[in-house]
């Protein structure tokens, strides 16, 4: 089978690999769509484990099954990271801290023609797509679930002012979820195309990030890795406010300690999503509560994955890029 193997952001090679063979409890999925995530573009992070087949926002059709839970022909979304549901983290409801979740994955990755799904992913991370959810829309389940979890952690609620810094895919999803919670949402970016999209997807106010804002936000959600944005966040956060590190820069940030202490600020992070978040994300898409269809702007074939990474990395007049084998 063909695979798109990541060496670095500018070196993605189409290589042949044997089609995976499944064992008891496993399924084999023919990949129908796989999204390019912002984390796939974090070269400083990804290159440590290169070469590898990336792609973790994957949907497809089951073509072989040795599991009594699923059958051939079913349309599924498969989560790459799943918890064990048995460790102290899972039992405390902190599934994304589970060591199994951090170590697990499917074989080889969504940027390939077929994927072997290990038994634990079959049991704890495979979801049948409803008839009204397309394969492409299904690739947005995982990124939306990450947003659902992040906003649950920081308690986004009605009446709050939420500042979303960065209006790419994760920013637009955060805007939509925050609006569902009836918050006032302000969005920033340096890209005029994305600022227009922020308006289209529900932001109450949008500003170019190069401008100084006159705002005090209850919650700030960082959806950019740009250092100036992190520095600005501490100017825009209100007393008792919370800054969510949804995206991270490639180096450490400095915290203004006196403001942090005197104004009782909080800085928290969110990594991945738990099964409860994935289920909620699937429901929101199925019920039409979150518009993911219009966020998918570009599609490339598997053999054209390098161009897909280029489009996603340049972030001009595009949002979500989908690899369609």
Summary mean pLDDT of the chain: 96
Domain 147-269 indexed as CATH 3.40.50.720: yes
Q: What is the pLDDT of residues 2-55, one digit of tens each?
A: 999 999 999 999 999 999 999 999 999 999 999 999 899 988 889 888 999 999
CA distances from 174 to 64, 143, 223, 243, 277 (A): 36, 10, 9, 14, 14
Question: Residue 222 in contact with residue 174, Cβ under 8 Å?
Answer: no
Q: How far apart are CA 18 and CA 195, in angstroms?
A: 44
Q: Is the peptide bond before 108 cis (omega within 30 degrees of 0)?
A: yes
Question: Residue 162 in contact with residue 185, Cβ under 8 Å?
Answer: yes
Please count the helices (runs of H) and the strands (runs of E) in the chain.
Answer: 12, 16
**Contacts for 190-193: CB closer than 8 Å, 24+ residues apart:** 191/167, 191/315, 191/316, 193/316, 193/317
Percent of the chain residues topping a pLDDT of 90: 94
Q: What is the pLDDT of residues 187-215, one digit of tens each?
A: 999 999 999 999 999 999 999 999 999 99
- The neighbour count for residue 287, using CB atoms within 10 Å, is 10
Q: Which residue has the tokens 């170590």?
A: 103
CA neighbor of 296 nearest in space, from 33, 19, 1, 21: 33
pLDDT above 90: residue 80: yes
Enclosing H/E stretch for 235 = helix 227-236
Strand partners, 184: 161
Domain ranges of the chain: 2-140+292-324, 147-269
Q: How far apart are CA 197 and CA 170, in angstroms?
A: 12
Question: Would you place residue 316 in the very low, low, confident or very high pLDDT band (cuts 50, 70, 90)?
Answer: confident
Q: What is the pLDDT of residues 105-117, one digit of tens each?
A: 999 999 999 999 9
| Contact residues for 262 (Cβ-Cβ < 8 A; gap 6+) | none
Q: What is the pLDDT of residues 144-203, one digit of tens each?
A: 999 999 999 999 999 999 999 999 999 999 999 999 999 999 999 999 999 999 999 999
Q: What does the angle CA 22 – CA 24 – CA 25 come to, to the nearest 5 degrees?
A: 95
As given in the structure block, the two tokens for residue 24 are 């008891």
Class of the CATH domain delimited by 2-140+292-324? alpha beta
Q: How far apart are CA 89 and CA 41, in angstroms?
A: 29
């Amino acid at each position: 089978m063909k695979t798109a193997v990541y060496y670095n952001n500018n070196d993605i090679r189409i290589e042949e690999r044997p089609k995976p063979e499944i064992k008891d409890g496993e399924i084999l999925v023919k990949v129908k769509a796989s999204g390019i995530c912002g984390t796939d573009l974090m070269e400083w992070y990804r290159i440590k484990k290169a070469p590898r087949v990336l792609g973790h926002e994957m949907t497809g059709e089951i073509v072989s099954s040795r599991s009594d839970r699923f059958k051939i022909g079913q349309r599924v979304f498969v989560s790459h990271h799943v918890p064990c549901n048995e460790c102290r983290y899972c039992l405390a409801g902190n599934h994304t801290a589970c060591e199994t979740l951090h170590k697990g994955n499917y074989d080889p990755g969504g940027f390939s023609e077929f994927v072997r799904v290990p038994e634990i992913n079959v049991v704890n991370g495979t979801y049948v797509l409803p008839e009204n959810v397309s394969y492409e829309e299904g690739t947005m389940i995982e990124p939306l679930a990450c947003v659902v979890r992040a906003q649950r952690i920081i308690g986004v609620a009605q009446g709050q002012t939420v500042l979303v810094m960065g209006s790419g895919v994760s920013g637009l999803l955060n805007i939509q979820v925050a609006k569902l919670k009836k918050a006032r949402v302000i969005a920033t970016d340096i890209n005029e195309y994305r600022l227009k999209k922020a308006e289209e997807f529900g932001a109450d106010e949008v500003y170019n990030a190069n401008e100084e804002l006159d705002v005090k936000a209850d919650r700030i959600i960082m959806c950019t890795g740009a250092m100036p944005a992190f520095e600005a966040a501490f100017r825009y956060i209100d007393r008792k406010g919370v800054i969510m590190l949804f995206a991270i820069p490639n180096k450490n940030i400095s915290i203004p300690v006196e403001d942090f202490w005197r104004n009782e600020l909080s800085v928290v992070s969110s990594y991945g999503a738990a099964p409860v978040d994935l289920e909620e994300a699937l429901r929101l898409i199925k019920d039409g509560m979150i518009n993911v269809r219009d966020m998918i702007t570009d599609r490339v074939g598997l053999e054209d994955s390098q161009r897909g990474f280029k489009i996603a990395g340049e972030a001009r007049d595009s949002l979500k890029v989908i690899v369609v084998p």
